[in-house]
Structure 1
Amino acid sequence: MFEGYAGTSDSGFRDEVEAEEALARGQYLADMSTNGDRPALTGPAGAEAETRLAAFARHTVFEGQVVTDEARLRRIVARHDPHLYPGTFLTCVYNPDRALCRTPSGPADRPVMADCQPLACRNAAFTPTNRHALERHLAALDTALADSERLAPYVRHRLEDQRRETVAYLTRHTPESAS
Structure 2
Amino acid sequence: MGTEADRPTLTGPAGAEAEARLAELARHTLFDGQAVTDEARLRRIAAHHDPHVYPGTFVTCVYNPDRALCRTSADPGEHPAMADCQPLACRNTALTSANLHALTDHLTQLEIALADDNHLAPYNRHRLQEQHRVTAVFLARHDPASAE
TM-score when scaled to structure 2?
Answer: 0.87
3-state DSSP class of the match of 1:92? strand
1:60 and 1:73 in contact (8 A); partners too: no
User: Number of matched residues?
Assistant: 147
1:88 and 2:19 matched: no
Give me the whole-angstrom Cα distance separating, in 2, the residues matched to 1:63 and 1:177.
41
| Aligned Cα root-mean-square deviation (Å) | 2.4
Letter in 1 for 2:129: E
* Correspondence for 1:149: 118
Give me the whole-angstrom Cα distance separating, in 1, the residues matched to 2:57 and 2:141.
19
Judged with a 3 Å threshold, the aligned counterparts in structure 2 of structure 1 residues 83 and 149 are, in CA distance, closer, same or farther, namely: same
Deviation, structure 1 residue 79: 0.8
Match of 1:131 among 100, 105, 117: 100
1:45 and 1:93 in contact (8 A); partners too: yes
Give me the whole-angstrom Cα distance separating, in 2, the residues matched to 1:176 and 1:85.
23
Greater relative contact order (Cα 8 A, min sep 6): structure 1 or 2? 2
1:50 and 2:19 matched: yes
Give identity over the alignment, percent.
65
* Correspondence for 1:23: none
Give me the whole-angstrom Cα distance separating, in 1, the residues matched to 2:137 and 2:98.
19
1:1-179 pair list within 5 angstroms: 30=1, 34-63=3-32, 69=37, 71=39, 72-103=41-72, 108-175=77-144, 179=148
Give me the whole-angstrom Cα distance separating, in 2, the residues matched to 1:69 and 1:127.
31
Flag structure 2 segments of 5+ consecutive residues without an equivalent.
Answer: none
Deviation, structure 1 residue 177: 9.2
Question: 1:56-86 CA distances to partner (integer Å, 9 max, x unpaired)?
Answer: 0012213267x67582543222111111011
3-state DSSP class of the match of 2:83? helix
1:87 and 1:113 in contact (8 A); partners too: no
Question: 1:40-63 CA distances to partner (integer Å, 9 max, x unpaired)?
Answer: 100000000010001000122132
Bigger helix share: 1
Deviation, structure 1 residue 146: 1.0
Give me the whole-angstrom Cα distance separating, in 1, the residues matched to 2:145 and 2:106.
22
- After the TM superposition, list the runs of 4 or more consecutive aligned residues in structure 1 that deviate by more than 3 angstroms: 67-70, 103-107
